[in-house]
């Protein structure tokens, strides 16, 4: 491939040798990525546009229309969207709170960090038993609430179930996000905060006008990360309630699993492509928002 290059930077022959060396190191990864992700994803795009794998007639958007009118898909998409819409902002706000807590001078700081981080290393399958004991109809939480005279709630089989899953999601993910925020907080230039101190700025002013603006790249990253992780909450739901959970817990991954069972390639491909497009749009939008409001400290 012919490329323009700035004259005088590197001799032409050397450039090509560099590129060969780079390729020599990159090829194992590149071949694997192409073979297991990129090429099959191309086929997914193709499958999403044809009527069936035998006749290969192009139907363009018909598969998407069918998918969007599928009631199972509608439920799954709606549930996933409400869950992510509630869980992601909560995850960002609460992990920032934890990071700020640990920034203050309190005793046992490093122990607290360890404790907050510990849920991330616990496999979901290992704590599912305890979640069951707590959230079961006859479980510990209802028992506790009974003391205050509250009625029994079937946490996993009622409209409260999304709430339970949000709690489980936060439990597992706050620690990881907190570490990211702690790193972001420690990168804020000290002298700026000292100037603010000299000027007798109020703590909330310091937080909202200085820290938060410098944290905006971190907030962006934590938001994206939490969004991706929010799709993984299927693990908790599946291990707690199985293939067919209460209606508000029926996530997109359940829909995919059940569609895999019937091997409807068109539906699967259309769903995967649609999700990829939506993800790219959301992430692009987040980048634009951050670019407009954030202070670019990375240069």
Binding positions for other proteins, 151-190, rule CB under 8 A: 171, 174-176, 179-180, 182-184
Instruction: Give the separation between CA 170 and CA 100, rounded to whole angstroms.
Output: 17
Which of residues 210 and 271 has its CB atom nearest to other proteins in the complex?
Answer: 271
Residues 6+ apart with CB under 8 A from 268: 44, 47, 256, 259, 260
262 belongs to the binding site for other proteins (CB under 8 A) = no
Among 60, 81, 85, 143, binds other proteins (CB under 8 A): 143
Largest CA distance in the chain: 82
Minimum CB separation of residue 35 from other proteins in Å reads 7
Minimum CB separation of residue 24 from other proteins in Å reads 8
Piece of the chain touching other proteins by CB under 8 A; list 61-69, 97-105, 152-160, 204-212: 97-105
Instruction: Give the separation between CA 16 and CA 10, rounded to whole angstroms.
Output: 10
Among 11, 13, 29, 71, binds other proteins (CB under 8 A): 29
Among 7, 8, 55, 104, binds other proteins (CB under 8 A): 104
Minimum CB separation of residue 210 from other proteins in Å reads 19
Burial of 100-123, coded b for 16+ CB within 10 Å and e otherwise, reads: eebeeeeeeeeeebeebeebeeee
Which of residues 55 and 111 has its CB atom nearest to other proteins in the complex?
Answer: 111
Q: Which of residues 53-92 bind other proteins (CB under 8 A)?
A: none
* Per rule CB under 8 A, count of chain residues that contact other proteins: 99
145 belongs to the binding site for other proteins (CB under 8 A) = no
Helix axes 161-186, 109-117, angle to 10 degrees: 140
Minimum CB separation of residue 155 from other proteins in Å reads 12
118 belongs to the binding site for other proteins (CB under 8 A) = yes
Contact at 8 Å (CB) between 60 and 187?
no
Which of residues 82 and 118 has its CB atom nearest to other proteins in the complex?
Answer: 118
Instruction: Give the separation between CA 86 and CA 166, rounded to whole angstroms.
Output: 8
Among 90, 120, 163, 188, binds other proteins (CB under 8 A): 120
Which of residues 38 and 192 has its CB atom nearest to other proteins in the complex?
Answer: 38
- The pattern of x and - marking residues 264 through 293 that bind other proteins according to CB under 8 A reads ----xx-xx--xx--xx--x----------
Q: Which of residues 36-55 bind other proteins (CB under 8 A)?
A: 36-41, 43-44
Minimum CB separation of residue 180 from other proteins in Å reads 5
Piece of the chain touching other proteins by CB under 8 A; list 28-36, 56-64, 153-161, 194-202: 28-36
Helix axes 124-135, 234-241, angle to 10 degrees: 60
Q: Which of residues 189-248 bind other proteins (CB under 8 A)?
A: 217-218, 220-221, 224, 228, 231-232, 234-235, 238-240, 242
């Amino acid at each position: 491939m012919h490329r323009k290059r700035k004259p005088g930077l590197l001799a032409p022959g050397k450039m090509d040798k560099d590129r060969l060396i780079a390729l020599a190191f990159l090829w194992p990864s590149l071949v694997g990525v192409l073979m297991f992700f990129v090429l099959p994803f191309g086929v997914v795009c193709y499958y999403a546009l044809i009527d069936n794998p035998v006749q290969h007639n192009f139907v363009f958007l018909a598969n998407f229309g069918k998918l969007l009118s599928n009631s199972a898909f509608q439920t799954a998409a709606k549930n996933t969207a409400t869950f992510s819409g509630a869980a992601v902002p909560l995850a960002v706000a609460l992990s920032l709170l934890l990071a700020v807590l640990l920034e203050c001078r309190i005793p046992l700081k490093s122990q607290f960090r360890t404790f907050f981080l510990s849920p991330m290393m616990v496999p979901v399958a290992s704590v599912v038993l305890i979640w069951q004991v707590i959230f079961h109809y006859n479980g510990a939480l209802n028992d506790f609430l009974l003391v205050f005279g509250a009625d029994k709630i079937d946490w996993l089989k009622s409209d409260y179930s999304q709430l339970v899953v949000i709690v489980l999601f936060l439990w597992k993910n706050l620690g990881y996000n907190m570490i990211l925020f702690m790193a972001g907080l420690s990168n804020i230039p000290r002298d700026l905060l000292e100037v603010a101190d000299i000027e007798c700025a109020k703590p909330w002013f310091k937080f909202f006008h200085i820290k938060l603006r410098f944290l905006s790249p971190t907030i962006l990253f934590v938001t994206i990360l939490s969004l991706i992780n929010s799709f993984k909450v299927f693990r908790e739901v599946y291990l707690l309630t199985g293939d067919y959970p209460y209606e508000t817990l029926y996530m997109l991954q359940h829909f995919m699993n059940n569609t895999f069972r019937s091997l409807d390639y068109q539906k699967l491909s259309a769903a995967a492509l649609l999700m990829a497009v939506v993800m790219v749009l959301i992430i692009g939008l987040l980048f634009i928002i951050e670019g407009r409001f954030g202070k670019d400290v990375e240069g």
